[in-house]
Structure 1
Amino acid sequence: MFDVCIIGGGVAGLMLARSLPDHYSIAVVTKEHAGTGNTSLAQGGIAASLSFDDRPESHATDTLLASADHADAERVEILATEGSAILKHLMAQGLPFDADEFGLPKLGMEGAHSKRRIVHAGGDQSGKLLMQYLREETSAKITRFVFHQALELMIGNGRCTGVLVSDRSGKRSVIKARHTVLATGGIGQLYRETSNSSVAAGDGLSLAYHAGAVLEDLEFVQFHPTVLTLGGKSCGLISEAVRGEGALLVNKDGKRIMEAIHPLLELAPRDVVARAIERHWQNEGPVYLDARKISNFKERFPSIYENCRNHAIEPTEELLPVRPGAHFHMGGVRTDSYGQTSIPGLYAVGEVACTGVHGANRLASNSLLEGLVFAARLAEWIGREPGRPGINTSSPQAGKMASSTTYFQGVDENQLKRNMTETAGILRAPEALANFLQAYPLKAYALKDYPDHVIAQIHRQTASSLIAVAALLRQESRGGHYRVDAPEPKAEWAGKVIGISKSGTHLSRRKTMIKEIML
C-alpha cells in the first residue's frame, strides 16, 4: 500500500508529489509516458503578482472579472495570494524563468489582465521547462506506473482505497493507497478541434462520477481563440501571449475583427474572442492572426515559430489562419479549498478539479498557477497526519463486480467528437443537446465487467454526457457556456452552481462578489 496514489503526472500531480513529506511512499500513474500531458504544451506561462506595481488583490480582481460573476471569491483570494508566494519560492529554488538584465522575471501581458504579470520560461516553452523541473525534483520520491490506464476507483465502506489499473499488456492490478488523488487533466480530446494533449479525454470526470463523487460547473468549457488551422485541421496552439505582444486578429483583407466587439480588442476575455472568431468563420470566412510586426517573433516564441515553419508558414511574413479549439475545462470534481472531494480518501487537483477559482471563464495563465497552489495545499493537508510508509507493490488482479443493470454497446469515438463539437461546443442549442443525450445517455456502469478498451470508451462517453447534461440544464449564457436560445446572462443564475452525481443533480450558490474579498 502507498501513502498517496496520484493519477496523472502533470503540474498538479508532480507539484503534489514534490510537496509531500519525503518519508511518504508515492505512486504516480500515467496513461502514457511521463512527459505526455497538457502541462508540457503550455505556452503562455504562469500568472502571479510579482512586480512592484502589482498586488495579489489586483490579480484576484482580474480573475473575478473574467469569471463572468461565477468564481468563488474566497478561493480566488487563495489563488492570487498564495500563488505569488509559491512562485517566488519556486523561482528561488531553481524553477527556470525568463529574466531581464537585472535578473528579474520578464513579465508578459495577456488578455483581461490589468498588469504585466505572466512569468515565462524559454519564451513559449513555459510548461515544458516547468515539467522538466518538477520531474527532476520528484524523481527520487515517486514510484512511476507509466502506460497504465486507470479503469476504476476502488471504494470500500464509503472510502476510496485505491485504483484499478491496466498495463500495456492488459494485466490488471489494484494500486492501494491511503490517499488517492485525481490529477488527470482536461477534456480537450472530447472535441474535434483542440489544443490539448492526446491523453486529455476526461477520464478523471468519469472515474469520479462512477465512484459516486459530486461534479460541478461542467458546462463551462473554454475554447482557445487561436489554434493554427490548416485544411480544416488543428495544427497547434498559438499562445495568447502572441496577441499580448501586439498581434492582431484580421479578416482576409487585413481588417481587424474585434474593433466593434469589445473595448479590449484582441485582449478581451477568451470566451468573447473565441465566439467572435467562430462567428466570423461561419458567417464571413476565415480569420487570421497578423504577427508580422512582432520584431523578435522567432526568439520570443521559438516553439510556435518552429511549428509554423513545419507547416510551411513563415509567421514573420504571412498571416496565420486561426480558429478556436477546446482548451480548458473550468468545471470538474467538486473539492474544498484543500482538494478533498465528496468521497473520503479521494482528492482532486489541477484541471480535473473544480475549485471555483475560474468561474465560467478562466483568466489567461491561471491554470498552471492553480495546479501549483492547490497541489501545495493538498500536500499540506495530507502531511498534517503522521505518515505511515507504504509498500511499493500493487495487488494481484482484481476480481469482477456484479453485472451491471445496463449494458454499454460501444461508441464511435470520431463521431462522438463531431457531435460534441457541434452540440456542446462554442454555440449550444437545447434541442441539439437533448438529441445528443438521447444518443449518449448518462449512465453508470459496472466498469470491471468490460474490456479495457471499452472502459476507455465508457469514460469518454460519460465525460461528454456530463458536460452535455450541465449545458442543457443551464438556461442562460455565461462565460464559456453559450446558449443560442438565451444569449445573455440571467440574474437568477448568478452564482448558481450545477452539481451532478450518480444520485442526481442539484443547485447550490457560491460567494462570487469582488467586494466580499476586498472589504
Structure 2
Amino acid sequence: MKKKSSLQVIDNVTFDFLIIGSGVAGASLALKLSAYGKVGLLCKESFFECNTRWAQGGIASVLSENDSYNLHIKDTLIAGAGLCHEKTVEKVIGAGPNTIKQLINLGVQFTQNSNENRLYYEYHLTKEGGHSARRIIHAADMTGIALQDTLSSKVTENKNIVLLEYHTAIDLIVTDKVTPDFSRNRALGAYVLNEKSKCIYAILAKATILATGGHGKLYLYTSNPDVASGDGVAMAWRAGARVANLEFMQFHPTCLYSPKTKNFLISEALRGEGALLKTLDGQRFMENIHPLKELAPRDIVARAIDSQIKKSGDPYVLLDISHKEPEFIKTHFPGIYAKCLEIGLDITQNAIPVVPAAHYSCGGIVTDIRGRTGIKSLWALGEVACTGLHGANRLASNSLLEGLVFADFVYEDIKNLLSDLNLYRNPDVPKWELGTAAEPDEMVVISQLWDEIRRTMWNYVGIVRTEKRLARAAARIDQICQEIETYYWNIIPSRSLIEVRNLATVAQLTVKCARMRKESRGIHYSLDYPLTDDIKYKKDTVVLS
C-alpha cells in the first residue's frame, strides 16, 4: 500500500533575480544585484555549508612588486596544459587586484605581514604548487571561513536579499518545457523543494544564476562537503545547456587520512611553506619526479602519491612539516593544527597521513566571459561553470579568484540587460505536479545507488584511467541512470533522491567526456594513451544535450 505524501504544492513565488548557490560566487553576486531588485538566494543547507567555507589556501592575485600579470598568466597556462582560453585568463587575472580590494573593503581580515617583513605589501602572501611567485593572499589557513563569515553578515543585513536556506532546486524551468512559442530557450526560474516546510513550488525570476559549486561527492574520497552533488550541471544539462571538460576532475594530493574524520583538506600552503612528502619509512619521493618537487602541479603530485600507495601497499603517505618551528606552524596553520590535535596528532612533532581525494572540477556548464550559458536569461559562475580559465588543470587558488571575478562579470552583464529583462513577461508556469508519486517504502534504494555511483567512479574513473575501466564505468552508470529515472517519477521528491539523480547524470557525462579524450592531458591520465596529442585533442570536450 502506498504511503500518503506529507508534501504540499504551493503557489509560485517571484523575484527579480534567483541565485542558486550561496558560496563566494553566489553570495558576492547577490550583494551586487540587490541594488537593482529583489534577490532570492537559494541554499541547499545553511548559508555556510558550501565548498567556499572549506577553502583553506587563499586567493591567487598579483599583489607584490616581485610578481607580474604575465607571470600569473604564464603559470595558469602551463597548469592548464594547452586548454586554457587565453583571453579569459588575461581578463580574470587582470581583474584580481581590484577584487581583493573589494573584499578588504567588505571587511575580510586577511593575514598581515609582521612589520619587519612589509617590504612590498602589508598582507602576507604565500606560494602554492605551480606558482612562480608568492601571490596567495589568505586568512591563515581558514580563508573560506573568513570569506563566508564576512559575506554572511552583509547578506543577512541586506533587505533586498531573501535567504532561502534548506531549499533544494529540483529542475530549471525553461520555455522549451513550458511553451513552444519562443524562438530561443529561456530560463524562467526553478522548481524547488523546501525541506523544512515540506513543500514544492516554483520560483520565477527575470534572471536565473547557477552558482551551485562542484560535484566532488561523485567520488568515494573527496575534500568536498555533502552538498557538492553536481546539481547545477545536471539541471542545466536537462534544460538544454552544453557542458564541457568534465573529464578534468582535479584530485587534491593531500587529504587527511583518518577514520576519525572525513573530507578534511590539508592545504597546499603547507608544501608552499616547506612541508615534505615522504613514504612511511621516511623517504622523500618527489625529488626524482619533478623539478619543483613537492610544489609540482597538483595532478603530478596526486599521481605520484597514488603510485607510491599502489607500489607499497600502504594506505597513505606522509606530509611532514615538523622540521619547522612549532610557533610558525601554529601561527600559519591554526586550523589544520587544531583539527589534527582533535584526532590526537601534533603536527609540530609528527607527520600527517594523507591521500589524494576528488577536489575540484575544471569542467562544467559552458559559458562565455560574461557567464552566459546557451540558454537565455541563465548565467553560471564558479565551479559549476566551464569558462576556459582552468583548461585541463586548475592552478592552485585560482578557483576563489574565478568565483569572485565572475561575480563582477555576471553583474555587469545583467545590469546592462536590465531594460530588456524588465520588458519580458513570463508565460504562465504550472505548479509542480505530483501525479501518482508516492513516499518511498525504503530509503536503502537511494543509499545503495549513491554508493554504487561513487565506488564505480573511484575505481574506474579515478586518478589513472584505462579504456577498459571507462567502458565498465559507462555500462554500469548507464544502467544506474535508467534505474533512477524509473524510480524517480514514481517517488515523492526528497533531497537525497534529487541529489542521487543529479550525481548519476554528472557521472554519465563525465564518463562520456573521458571516453572522448584519447590522450593524457592535465588531470586526465590514461594508461592506454600516455602521450598528449595536440593535433586531435587540443580543444575542449563539449557535449551537446
What one-letter code is carried by the residue in structure 1 that aligns with 2:172?
L
Shift of 1:20: 2.0
Whether 1:251 and 2:279 are equivalent positions in the alignment is: yes
Q: Give the corresponding residue for 1:271.
A: 299
Partner of 2:11: none
Instruction: Give 3-state SS (helix, strand or coil) of 1:236's partner.
Output: coil
Tell whether the 8 Å contact from 1:338 to 1:374 is kept in structure 2 after alignment. Answer: yes
Say whether the 8 Å CA contact 2:43–2:168 is kept in structure 1. yes
1:312 paired to 2:340: no
Does residue 61 of the first structure (1) align with residue 80 of the second (2)?
no
Q: 1:26/1:235 Cα in 2 relative to 1: closer, same or farther (>3 Å)?
A: closer
C-alpha distance in structure 1 between counterparts of 2:232 and 2:435, whole Å: 21
C-alpha distance in 1, partners of 2:525/2:262? Answer: 22
- Specify which of 443, 448, 466 is matched with residue 429 of structure 1: 466
SS of equivalent to 1:151: strand
Could you give the per-residue CA deviations for residues 194-228 of structure 1, whole angstroms, max 9, x where no partner exists? 11111011111111111110001110000000001
Task: Judge conservation of contact 1:193–1:233 (CA < 8 Å) in 2.
Answer: no
Aligned to 1:480: 523
The structural deviation recorded for 1:345 is 1.1
Give 1:461's aligned amino acid.
Answer: A
2:190 corresponds to 1:163: yes
Residue 365 of structure 1 corresponds to: 397
Output the CA distance in 1 between the equivalents of 2:368 and 2:491.
33
Displacement, 1:143? 0.6
Q: Give the stretch that moved more between structures: 483-492 or 268-277.
A: 483-492
Report if the CA contact (8 A) 1:56-1:84 is conserved.
Answer: no
Identify the residue that residue 293 of structure 1 maps to in structure 2. Answer: 323
Aligned pairs (5 A) from 1:29-428: 29-100=42-113, 101=115, 102=118, 104-121=122-139, 123-139=140-156, 140=158, 141-156=160-175, 157=182, 158-168=185-195, 169-231=197-259, 234=262, 236-284=264-312, 285=314, 286-295=316-325, 296-386=328-418, 388=422, 397-399=431-433, 412-428=449-465
The Cα offsets for residues 298-343 of structure 1, whole Å up to 9 and x where unpaired, read as 1211111111111111111111111100000000000000100011
Structure 1 pair 291/445, CA: closer, same or farther in 2 (3 Å)? same
In the TM superposition, what whole-angstrom CA distance separates every residue of 1:56-103 from its partner, at most 9, and x where no partner exists? 221111100111111111100011101122213332443221112257
**SS of alignment partner, residue 152 of structure 2:** helix
1:97 partner letter: F
Amino acid at match of 2:307: R
Q: Is the CA contact (8 Å cut-off) linking 1:31 and 1:148 kept in structure 2? A: yes
Residues 60 and 76 in structure 1, CA contact (< 8 A), matched pair in contact too: yes
Secondary structure in 2 matching 1:477: coil
Structure 1 residues 472, 21: CA separation in 2 closer, same or farther (over 3 Å shift)? same
Letter paired with 1:9: S
What per-residue deviation string (whole Å, max 9, x for no partner) do you get for residues 112-153 of structure 1?
1111000011x1010100111112222213111111111000
Query: Is residue 492 of structure 2 the alignment partner of residue 451 of structure 1?
Result: yes
Aligned to 1:506: none
1:275-300 deviation digits (Å, cap 9, x = unpaired): 00011001123310011022211121
Which ranges of structure 1 fall in alignment gaps of 5 or more residues?
404-408, 503-519
TM-score, length basis structure 1: 0.91
RMSD value over aligned CA atoms?
2.4
Q: Tell me which residue corresponds to 1:510.
A: none
Identical aligned residues as a percent: 40
Residue type at the aligned position of 1:125: M
**Structure 2 CA distance for aligned equivalents of residues 433 and 115 of structure 1:** 38
Whether the aligned pair in 1 keeps the contact of 2:106 and 2:150 (CA below 8 Å) is: no
Cα shift at 1:26: 0.5
- Offset of residue 236 of structure 1: 1.2
Rg larger for: 2
Contact 2:213–2:382 at 8 Å: present in 1 too? yes
- Alpha-carbon distance, 1:434 to partner: 1.4
The amino acid that maps onto 2:517 is R
Distance (whole Å) between structure 2 residues aligned to residue 84 and residue 445 of structure 1: 46
Q: Does 1:470 align with 2:513?
A: yes
Contact 1:57–1:80 (CA<8 Å) still a contact in 2? no
- Code of the residue aligned with 2:373 in structure 1: it is T
Following superposition, the deviation at residue 232 of structure 1 comes to 10
Alignment partners' CA distance in 1, 2:281 and 2:377:
57
The equivalent residue for 1:517 is none
Amino acid corresponding to residue 470 of structure 1 in structure 2: C
Deviation at 1:262, TM superposition (A): 0.2
Shift of 1:401: 9.0
CA distance in 1, matches of 2:122, 2:517: 45
Inter-partner Cα distance in structure 2 for 1:4 and 1:34:
18
* Shift in Å, 1:389: 12
Offset of 1:175 from its aligned partner? 0.5
Aligned residues: 494
1:516 matched residue in structure 2: none
Give the whole-Å Cα distance in 1 for the aligned partners of 2:409 and 2:199: 34
Specify the code of the residue in structure 2 equivalent to 1:230: S
Say whether the 8 Å CA contact 2:216–2:224 is kept in structure 1. yes
Q: Which has the higher helix share?
A: 2
Provide the rounded CA distance (Å) in 2 between the counterparts of 1:42 and 1:144: 22
TM superposition shift of 1:351:
0.2
Contact map agreement 1:173 1:396 (CA 8 A) in 2: no
Structure 1 residue identity aligned to 2:492: P
Distance 1:445 1:336 in 2: 31
Q: Which amino acid aligns with 1:133?
A: T
